[in-house]
Amino acid sequence: MDAGLELAVRNLEKFQNSRFPILTIYLSSNSKEAPSSKFLLSQLHSLIHKNLSREEQKIFKKDIEKIEKYLTSQYDKRGKHALVFFSSGGNLWEVLDFDYYLPVLCLVSYSPYLNQINETLSWSKI
C-alpha cells in the first residue's frame, strides 16, 4: 500500500467535525483507460448541478474553479482512474489520485468523506 496515500488520509481525518463546510468530490471512470480531463470536467459539472444547491455553488465557487483549473492544467492521467478533491476555502485543499475506480460523489459536510477510500484501503491490506 502507498504510504503517502495513507498519510494523506490520516491528515484528512484531522478535519473531522470542521467548523467550516468541506466539499468532497470523487471523479472516476471504470473504463480500461484513464479518463480524459474533458470527461472529468463534464462529470464535475454534472455532479455540481445535481448535488449542490445554488447557495452551495456560490459558497464553493472558488473551490470549484480551483478543481477546474487543476483538471485543465495539472491533471496527469497516466494510470489514474479516479481523482478525489477535498476543499474548504483557504483551510483545505487536497487532491488524491487512484489507479482504480471509485464511485463518483459530490458531498458537502463538516468532515471529509473518506468512507470509500478507507474501505478500499482496508481491502488492499488483506
Establish if 124 belongs to a structural domain: no
Torsion of CA 49, 54, 58, 60, to 10 degrees: -50
Establish if 121 belongs to a structural domain: no
Establish if 64 belongs to a structural domain: yes
pLDDT digits (tens, 9 = 90+) for 26-81: 999 998 888 999 999 999 999 999 999 999 999 999 999 999 999 999 998 787 88
Instruction: Determine what percent of the chain is predicted with pLDDT higher than 70.
Output: 96
Q: What is the mean pLDDT of the chain?
A: 91
Establish if 37 belongs to a structural domain: yes
How many distinct structural domains can be found in the chain? 1
Establish if 119 belongs to a structural domain: no
Q: Which domain holds residue 47?
A: 3-114
Q: 67 and 25 in contact (C-beta within 8 Å)?
A: yes
Q: What is the pLDDT of residue 125?
A: 60
Give the CATH number for residue 28. Answer: 3.30.960
Nearest to 66 by CA among 38, 85, 45: 85
Establish if 70 belongs to a structural domain: yes
pLDDT band at residue 5 using 50, 70 and 90 as cut-offs: confident
